[in-house]
Structure 1
Amino acid sequence: MKNTLYPSRVRAWFTVSVLMLAYVLSFVDRQILNLLVGPIRQDMDISDTQMSLLMGLSFAIFYTFCGIPLGRIADSKSRRNLLMCGILVWSGMTAACGMAKGYWQFLFCRIGVAAGEASLAPCAYSMISDSFTPERRGTAFSVYSTAIYLGSGVALLLGGVAVHFATSQGDMTLPLIGIVRPWQMVFLILGAIGVVFSLCLLLLREPVRQGVGAGLQLPFSEFVDYLRKNRRTMLCHNLGFACLTFTAYGSSAWIPTFFVRSFDMSVPQVGVIYGSMLAICGSLGLLVGGRLCDWLVKRGHRDAPLRIAILAAVLTLPSNLGYLVDDKNLALVLMAFHVFTVSMPFGVGPLAVQEVVPSPMRGQASALYQFAVTLIGLGIGPTAVALGTDYVFGSDSALGYSLAVVTGISLVLAVVILTVGLRSYRESLERLKSWAPKDPTVVVPGRQVPAADA
């Protein structure tokens, strides 16, 4: 029987558009710090190590650990309202960064940004799943995920404009705040934009929860029990996609420096060329991956997300030759292909999680997925490449070799792990059809509970 609870196509794509803009905004707030290293270090008299904690580790740790409880809230409460609160928190804390008087205040504010942004993935993934039928979700998730690459480009473009504007104004005096430096004004402006944007979420309608178990509110023990019974599926999926994320973050962090060191390109030149690659090739790769996934699902391949990820890893491996060639133009072509192929699975990765868990667990499962890919990909990927350059090859000029070896190993691991997980993923999909909770505590009144997606 066809499920008629999905919203109209216009309403569904409007939801994706608003969520994608929220994702772009989160990337800008997250990465703007990278453009302001010099003035912040000078005004606060801090070291590179202290600065790196503001930029990376403090954000990654609290982003991942806050995601789990927020995912649980998203599974039982209004996702729209939770996300609106999250945007207000991360935007408010972004503005607070502009009013910080010392390093520890700034660190606390960055933790607040991370905690607020942790609400986005569980809410967005769950809402998109409940807005589209299974054969259309691959494209929807990929369109939403283009914010990864568009957001990186927007962060550089708009961030640069904001920095230029604030710097041209010099120190300013604001009511109630007092004198603010140009870099502080950037954070205040971005925070204000986020607060205004949060009102856009009032235009969204909370989609009706779909899928197995929709309408149930479950104790956390049910989620733990489900993970235990499907541990091989979840482990292979999360580790496999974490390896792909490791490749993407590890390479994107060092590719600009690679072109500067290997081909004597200027930083602005690399910024324009590589930034364009990310925005264009990355977004196209995501969309192609999503469309291929939907094409396979329509032909009965419910394990399509994992197949797309394996294909992407295999196609990305040859582009590692770009780190070893002596011709700049050939290297640029290979890097464009690399960005295209490595981006293909990042829309269908979270989709695979949504497909294999009951509806009341989607937010928590999404948070667990984000935990794995953020800690391994963002937390370890860039550092692993640097360690290879410094301690394995022992020379700055060997960055290309380090990139080729480290990302090559992670791509091979991704292929092996995801291939091992294909069978268990299909088994979990079949097992889900007959799943029933041990102890459902609350059934939402007046709510039709579909047995499964149609």
Structure 2
Amino acid sequence: MPDTRTDHDSVSAGQHHSTMRGWYAVSILLVALLISFTDRLIINLVVDPIRSELTLSDFQISLLQGAGFAIVFALAGLPSGRLADSTNRRNLIIAGITLWSSATIACGLAVDFRFFLAARVAVGLGEAALIPAASSLIIDLFAARQRGTALGIFALGATFGTGAALFFGGLMLAWITAGLFETIPLVGTLSPWRQLFLLAGLPGILLVPFLLLIKEPLRRRSSGLLPLSGVAARLIADNGTVLRVCMVKGALGMGDYALIAWLPTLLQRAYGMSPLEAGSLLALSITTSGVIASLAGGTLSDSFVRRWGVQTRVVLLLGCYTLTTIGACVIFFVETGEHAAIAFAIWALGSIGGYVIGHVVMQESVPNEMRATTIALSLAVTALIGIGLGPTLVPLVAEHIYGGEGALQSAMATVSLVAALVAFAIVWPPVRKGIVALRAQFP
């Protein structure tokens, strides 16, 4: 008979089935995640105008895209995770969204590199609170058989947020250039890229009243905040499964942010597209793949749990990282903007699917008392390795390996391929254990 056991802290289905309250929370948190990714990534559409007006180099731009955001995002993530494991998670999210939205507006007022960098640091500080608190909250609202689906739907916020940053950012730039906002006092006199940041910061502030309607759920089987020694012991238990999934997110994040940061610029520089054309094409690419990956990854992994047990969920990561490797290889050979978008879609299908499944694997491998901390650790690793290195490695690889900024495409492909191969190597031990558990179901 198939093993249909759920994890140790599941409660009876009658007590723990999803409710309207739970799905309302998921939907609002999805929108919050969408806004956070939009505010994080909107800079990628206006690289050249910012560089020109503030007299910046590609390297300085990469710091604004990556390290300037990532370092504080990583450093603030772990304290935010610990807070989410011990305090009201909804209120923590509200504080975070208020901070990062205000900081996004401040980006549009930057007068030099240092001002802009400080604003990006504040964006990272605010966004560090969202995913650990929201993920922990969602886990307490749903049973193990539904968590993959719930977290997959929540993860759509990242997908749509990336797409929204590219599509609506491009659309907004077109409206701004056409003079649609020039009659607004103070705003209308600013450069188009500055107006874009000001307008991008408003939705987060408007979402706060809807967040206030979310009620903090009871923590399931929680006995208080776990000491750091206990957290460390759980991370390295079971051949380091949780730590490995955290690390693999960082490795894949390096490829994610190398592509997200520079693809809009590549499409404009090399293939003659406008910001709206580049944004629309990439938004379509990542949104289509992201929706498929988020929903299919969550529901398929839940199906594995129902049929063969929780321990088999991790096996699906093997297929996800195969897709990222294929996508990275294809990027080397594309010759049109449309083909580049298709390659990016293949990459995103694997990366986002792996993100959703890995998210649930980590949450099911630790007790309630350290769930938000675990997610915060994975985000810290993603920020330091992925966001911190990905955007910056691309111009460095282009310059020092391929001979100059004209080799942007080859540099992006190289960084993403290395990221995919490293992810394979890191995640193989827990995947192999999952394969053994799966085979045991078929004597």
State TM-score, norm by structure 1. Answer: 0.81
- The Cα of 1:284 is off from its aligned counterpart by 1.1
Which residue of structure 2 aligns with residue 437 of structure 1? Answer: none
Give the drift of 1:138: 1.2
In the other structure, the counterpart of 2:244 is 236
Contact 1:310 1:414 in 2 (8 A): no
Written as runs of structure 1 = structure 2, the 5 A alignment for 1:38-437 is: 40-41=50-51, 44=54, 46-100=56-110, 103-166=113-176, 168=179, 169-170=181-182, 173=185, 183-210=193-220, 213-229=221-237, 232-255=240-263, 264=271, 266-267=273-274, 269-325=277-333, 333-394=342-403, 401-422=410-431
Q: 1:280: Cα distance to partner?
A: 1.1
Contact 2:43–2:65, Cα closer than 8 Å, also in 1: yes
Seen in structure 2, the aligned counterparts of structure 1 residues 144 and 171 have a Cα distance that, compared at 3 Å, is: same
1:38 and 1:394 mapped to 2: Cα distance?
21
Contact 2:166–2:282 (CA under 8 A) maintained in structure 1: no
User: 1:33 touches 1:55 (CA, 8 Å); kept in 2?
Assistant: yes
Give the % identical residues.
Answer: 33
CA contact (8 A) 2:103 2:122 kept: yes
Provide the alpha-carbon RMSD of the alignment.
3.3
Aligned amino acid, residue 273 of structure 2: S
CA distance in 2, matches of 1:426, 1:192: 47
Using the alignment, how far apart are the partners of 2:130 and 2:62 within structure 1?
Answer: 24
**In the TM superposition, what is the alpha-carbon distance from 1:378 to its structure 2 partner?**
2.0
- Report the alpha carbon displacement of residue 76 of structure 1 after superposing the two structures with TM: 0.8
Partner of 1:194, secondary structure, is helix
Do the aligned partners of residues 341 and 88 (structure 1) sit closer, same or farther apart at CA in structure 2, a change above 3 Å counting? same
Shift of 1:331: 6.5
Q: Which amino acid aligns with 1:315?
A: L
**Matched residues, number:** 422
Which has the higher mean CA deviation after the structures are superposed, 238-247 or 138-147?
238-247
CA contact (8 A) 2:106 2:198 kept: yes
Query: In the TM superposition, what whole-angstrom CA distance separates every residue of 1:368-426 from its partner, at most 9, and x where no partner exists?
Result: 01011222222223444444443334366665555555433332332232121346789
Structure 2 counterpart of 1:18, from 28, 40, 55: 28
Q: CA deviation at 1:317?
A: 3.0
Letter paired with 1:248: D
Secondary structure of the corresponding residue to residue 219 of structure 2: coil
CA distance in 1, matches of 2:388, 2:394: 12
List per-residue Cα deviations over 1:24-55 (Å, max 9, x = no partner): 11112212233444554555555554444333
List per-residue Cα deviations over 1:109-138 (Å, max 9, x = no partner).
222221111000111110111111111111
Counterpart amino acid of residue 289 in structure 2: C
Deviations 1:170-226 (A, max 9, x none): 48645xx9986654444443333322211111121212212xx41423344432343
Secondary structure at 1:216's aligned position in 2?
Answer: coil
Structure 1 residues without counterparts, runs of 5 or longer: 428-454
Return the TM-score normalized by structure 2. Answer: 0.83
Compared CA separation, residues 202 and 270, structure 1 to 2 (3 A):
closer
2:440 is matched with none
